[in-house]
Chain A
């Protein structure tokens, strides 16, 4: 293994690639070579560093200095000044928060606690050696050699880990159901179809530290008696796919996947499946349909996947973050994990505040921190010093909360965080306009099989289109309220059940704003073009 005096981690996450990260990286490699430094300094492509709104970024180790807003033109200066002369390029140094643990200027914020994100931005995600060097795959060794499958299930149950995809079902219980279910060809499926707008935490994990997902899946497979694993990755997540593919290949080569893992006699392998862009396929049974090659539509429940899942075999489906939590639980013990968080929500949760915050990004915290902690202490507060108006908890399928929720704790017993997105709105934003946006999303993403969701999302969008253009009536307000209730009660799956939740929760909070649109034909925030009444509405 070669030794380098410095490592440069270039953020080549999907947003960065779209901004031209690959060109900047090759400029950097060329420059280093030109200066004859290529034996001393190694350039590593890493996943999303959780830095958003700061252009292209890289980290220089061992100092841990983050440079942001870089262009290819800045590269010679960084190489000349920092790498040759040891002087930081002050004008490019980033001092905001980051998910990357570094010892330099960007420090983790108060109350941040990195368990899953521990090695993101630290290790080369495409190197299994670096993962192993940081304690990776020790949990597998422990589980396969020192624990029975029942022990593993018991440990996960004792950790009180709950699903991180939004619904929060106890993971240990899910594993136990699957382990005890009769059936051949059990499967472990990792739901990496992160589609809820505002969420980008799973992508960060897959791009920055994919091996922990693989390790979590192997442990799950061992616990429930499954030998096949599938990772259903959102199709647009190109680097998640490439990093995870590399990780699987390396793990296979290292004997950590395949037959007789670590001589334990346990066989397990993983296949990657790329989604084709349908939000509905993040719903676990629709995901299974899609995996089986059919139209992405949710199934009737019961039976639930632990009884009848992939090809009708008992199946564990867990979110990326859930599976990534598992190796640490096995490694450090359920007691350690259950010691973090609150009474009903154990462990850490990754949040992705975005919208009108100063530092959108990905932050891992123990359950129980307040909404204010994340928005103001970590994400830097509201952009431009403006006032906080509302936050959409978890994404468009979550509830909308107002200012009075800022000091509520993020956990099951107080304010349920959903999948982790926190879409923050400042005082200039219009709630009706936001709801129109959400309505458009659900109308576009409804699979169309059940009546309340297919027809309901259409009618909600129509009415919101009217309201935001100066049409519609107060009767529509009452009608939508009743429609939202029916959709929640009768839709076949979560998509329709939650499609009107944000709207319903926004009504009591911002009724005046709705009435201003509906009765007075005025948008108080000045966002909606109230004079653009659609022709057909007139």
Chain B
């Protein structure tokens, strides 16, 4: 039943359960917000969305105030405007006035509000809270001075990821968002996913940016710099240059990277195809030889750290395959070095990822199977775009180029690694061929696509019903893992888990802002990219076939195990730093 109210005199029909904000937005009426985020439960703490509701003693926060029949709302009355200005002025009075040198300059939500409200002077001339920057984490840097205590990061970490690495500490003016009991971020349970960064409205949370080191490498003539780009990057990096969400810019991005001076621009998609060969073979082996089932995917490093912390007893379920990034790294300094005759010690391996957890992953001590650090630097999509801007590159107007050989060719199955359900779909496309000896007519496996947090499907692979599940976001992953423990997923074969909502396209290194609409647009771009490919099944990738012929032999070979597989580290949540015990996986 519709609820009738008026907003600024205009009749609006709302639905039961609507807040004033949702009703207004649906009716096309704008109300400014700050602590509100469409992915999160409202918290109502910034008070920027305050509106006047007739009959109420105080203004009401539109983001959390429910609509009621006959309600009369004013969104920009003089009292409202005056209050909002005052609120933003209060925030600015306690905020470093260094917008010009802030990494969020021109993309900061606080700055945007100050402009919107026409604030030209901060009248409060008192103390500003000082705090130290926390650069302990390999992935996420914290600058508490720029924090406006909107709690978005707290809600993200707790509600979306069920990790709760961040929380409010102390009281009143002294309130600070801290990891653990005020520890540095690297000393608490954090999975490095960077989802907090994606939802931070200011520059308080940023990624650990290695771009100056990458520039140095590029400009060092003794170094041979190879770069790989993850599937999800091509569907999002255009947003950094003002293009709409869902713009596919694969060829333009390759051109840009070549212009920047990378010696070889190759593709993580190649190793995504390779992952399917290895992981699919591993699954078949587990099914036929009675291994631990269901098998869990292992390409999302935030997810890996999560299971190591919270469910170490389930580590034997995890595929031993390295992530595509790390497979690429191991091959770049072995296979690629051999083929090109370049000394691997002179190769600098850079990856461009939608992800901040990859920065942690490439630093794991076991990721040195090439004899060197397999991947030297990880740039996020945002950081890569910033480097392009610094190089004067106008991405939207570039011509398209092809990836370089030998690690550049890929199939549609690899592209869809970038979104939730993609690894599952890619694996099923290949498993069908291996198990039945025939090829799928329709490679679009709709049953595993979608946006629900946990999806389950039974897919017929010939005569064999393969029971599969897909989860994205760690709170959803936790549900699945609890399900494995209590037996609900007992007869399942394969479960895909992605750390971030929507999969890698929603990763912590992707362009800001993020929302379900933006993630859906990126996913559509990914599926379009898949549809546009001639080859759409990993096992049909000729470059992968050649790699096996020339170098690896066959999937799960001794050499594959040496370079492409890994083991995991149970982690103690209480003594994050100290205890690391290696066990057989």
Binding site for B on A (CB under 8 A): 278, 295, 300, 302, 443-452, 454-459, 462-463, 475, 479, 482-483, 485-486, 488-492, 497, 536
Cβ contact within 8 Å between A457 and B172: yes
CB pair A451–B50 under 8 Å, yes or no, is no
- Interchain CB contact under 8 A, B172 and A450: no
Which residue in A444, A447, A483 is a CB contact (below 8 Å) of B86? A483
Measured CB to CB, the closest approach of chain A to B262, in angstroms, equals 45
B172 lies within 8 A of A445 (CB): yes
Contacts A300-B44, A452-B87, A462-B124 known; list 11 others, CB within 8 Å. A300-B42, A446-B172, A447-B172, A448-B172, A455-B173, A462-B126, A486-B82, A486-B83, A488-B58, A489-B50, A536-B127
Bound complex: CA A485 to CA B85 (Å): 12
Asked if A446 and B86 sit within 8 Å, CB to CB, the answer is no
Establish whether residues A448 and B64, one from each chain, have CB atoms under 8 Å apart when the complex forms.
Answer: no
- Distance in angstroms between the alpha carbons of A443 and B126 in the assembled complex: 14
Chain B nearest CB from A126 CB (Å) reads 36
Please give, as numbers and ranges, the residues of chain A lying within 8 Å of B127 by CB-CB distance: 458, 462, 536
Known: A451-B91, A452-B87. A446 touches B171 (CB 8 A): yes
Q: Write out the residue numbers on chain A whose beta carbons fall within 8 Å of the beta carbon of B64.
A: 300
The CA-CA distance from A445 to B168 in the complex, in Å, is: 15
Give me 23 A-to-B residue pairs in the complex whose CB atoms sit less than 8 angstroms apart, sorted by A's number.
Answer: A295-B168, A300-B43, A300-B61, A443-B173, A445-B171, A448-B149, A448-B175, A449-B151, A451-B87, A454-B173, A455-B91, A455-B93, A455-B94, A458-B94, A459-B90, A459-B93, A475-B123, A485-B82, A490-B61, A491-B47, A491-B58, A492-B45, A536-B127
Q: In the complex, what residues of A have CB within 8 A of residue B126's CB?
A: 458-459, 462-463
CA distance A11 to B42 in the complex (A): 49
Give Cα A451–Cα B282 distance, bound, in whole angstroms.
Answer: 54
Q: Is the CB of A452 within 8 A of B58?
A: no
Say which residue of A448, A456, A458, A536 sits within 8 Å of B171 (CB atoms): A448
> Interface size bucket, B side?
35 or more
> Measured between C-beta atoms, what is the minimum distance from B50 to chain A in Å?
5
Complex: how many Å from CA A426 to CA B109? 50
**A451-B90, A452-B90 are known contacts. Are A302 and B82 too (CB-CB below 8 A)?**
no
A446 contact set on B, CB distance < 8 A: 171-173
Contact present for B172 and A454 (CB under 8 Å): yes
Q: Is B213 interfacial (CB 8 A cutoff)?
A: no
Q: How far is the CA of A448 from the CA of B174 in the complex (A)?
A: 8
Q: Which of B42, B44, B48, B173 contacts A457 (CB 8 A)?
A: B173
B173 touches A486 (CB 8 A): no
Residue B450, interface by CB 8 Å: no
Chain B residue at minimum C-beta to C-beta distance from A453: B172
Q: Which residue in A302, A454, A482, A489 is a CB contact (below 8 Å) of B66?
A: A302
Determine which of B66, B123, B175 lies in contact with A449 in the assembled complex, contact meaning CB atoms within 8 Å. B175
Q: In the complex, A463 Cα to B66 Cα: how many Å?
A: 37
Contacting pair A458 B46 (CB below 8 A) = no
* Neighbour of A489 across the interface among B44, B59, B173, CB < 8 A: B59
Closest to A495 in B: B172
Collect the chain A residues with CB atoms within 8 Å of residue B115's CB.
none
Nearest Cβ on chain B to A478's Cβ, whole angstroms: 9
Bound complex: CA A485 to CA B83 (Å) = 8
| Docked complex Cα distance between A497 and B174 (Å) | 20
- Nearest-CB distance from B126 to chain A (Å)? 4
Is there a chain A Cβ closer than 8 Å to B170's Cβ? yes
Of B91, B94, B173, most A-chain CB atoms within 10 Å? B173
Q: Does B580 have its Cβ within 8 Å of any Cβ on chain A? A: no
Given A482-B82, A486-B86, is A450 in contact with B175 using a C-beta cutoff of 8 Å? no
Interface assignment of B79: CB less than 8 Å from any CB of chain A: yes
- When the two chains form the complex, which single residue of A458, A492, A536 contacts B47, counting CB atoms closer than 8 Å? A492
B79-104 interface (Cβ within 8 A of A): 79, 82-83, 86-87, 90-91, 93-94
Bound: A509/B149 CA distance, A: 37
Taken residue by residue from 47 to 84, chain B's Cβ proximity to chain A (1 for < 8 Å, 0 otherwise) reads as 11010000000110100111000000000000100110
- Give A193 Cβ to nearest chain B Cβ, in Å: 15
Indicate if the CB atoms of A449 and B61 lie closer than 8 Å.
no
Q: Which of B164-210 contact A (CB under 8 A)?
A: 167-168, 170-175
Residues of B within 8 A of A457 (CB): 172-173
B111 CB to nearest A CB, Å = 16
**Complex alpha-carbon distance, A514 and B244, angstroms:** 56
> Separation in Å of the B231 CB from the closest CB of chain A?
40
A72 shortest CB reach to chain B, Å: 41
Complex CA gap A508/B311 in Å reads 64
CB distance from A113 to the nearest CB of B (A): 31
B334 to chain A, nearest CB (A): 52
Query: How far does the Cβ of A538 sit from chain B's closest Cβ, in whole Å?
Result: 13
Q: What residues on B are CB-neighbors of A486 within 8 Å?
A: 82-83, 86-87
Q: CB within 8 A of B90: which of A278, A447, A456, A485?
A: A456
Tell me the smallest distance from the CB of B31 to a CB of chain A, in Å.
Answer: 14
Q: With A486-B86, A490-B50 in contact, do A458 and B58 touch (Cβ < 8 Å)? A: no
